[in-house]
Amino acid sequence: MKFKYCRIQGKELAANTRTGKGIFSMLNQMVTNGVMDEEDIGLFKEIDSWFAEELPWPPQCKRQESVICYFKMENTEMMMKMVNPLLWLLERYKHPYYVVYTNFPGEIVYEDEYQIVVKVDENVVIEDLQSNWSPED
């Protein structure tokens, strides 16, 4: 199966979306928390600067709306080459992450050549497994 979109996210939840933090948020938090050594911080900042120059900054992200970003698979060859060292940093510091591939990301509110931004679905239902449980089960 061929997927249209890709997102790299962590286990920790972003405050404004209540979904897994994206790769840049995870790494920024690691820098803030003093987890990485100076050389690795330099690598991250260099790559982060490249992305800031090459990708438009979506207005929804600037306003910290409840949105998440995905890379477009069709145009991401160069970006994924730049992401690989970031994945290496996560691995180096044993920071768990997931690579999410999808064709159905949700309602797209922004799109450019390399990425999409989607609204976080406020109506996600998390099944409560405990509610149907009884001592007799």
pLDDT tens, 52-68?
Answer: 998 888 988 888 889 99
Confidence of residue 124 (pLDDT cuts 50, 70, 90): low
- Take residue 5 and report the two structure tokens written for it: 């979109």
Per DSSP, 133 falls in state -
Asked whether the beta carbons of 108 and 115 are under 8 A apart, the reply is no
What span, in angstroms and rounded, lies between the C-alpha atoms of 52 and 50?
Answer: 5
Confidence of residue 1 (pLDDT cuts 50, 70, 90): confident
pLDDT, one tens digit per residue, over 14-71 is: 888 888 999 999 999 999 999 999 999 999 999 999 999 988 889 888 888 899 999 9
Give, rounded to a whole angstrom, the gap between the first and last alpha carbons of the chain: 40
- Measured CA to CA in angstroms, residue 22 lies from 64, 117, 122 at distances of 13, 12, 18
Name the residue among 121, 120, 81, 118 with its Cα closest to residue 4: 118
What does the domain layout of the chain look like in residue ranges? 5-119
Name the residue among 100, 83, 75 with its Cα closest to residue 20: 100
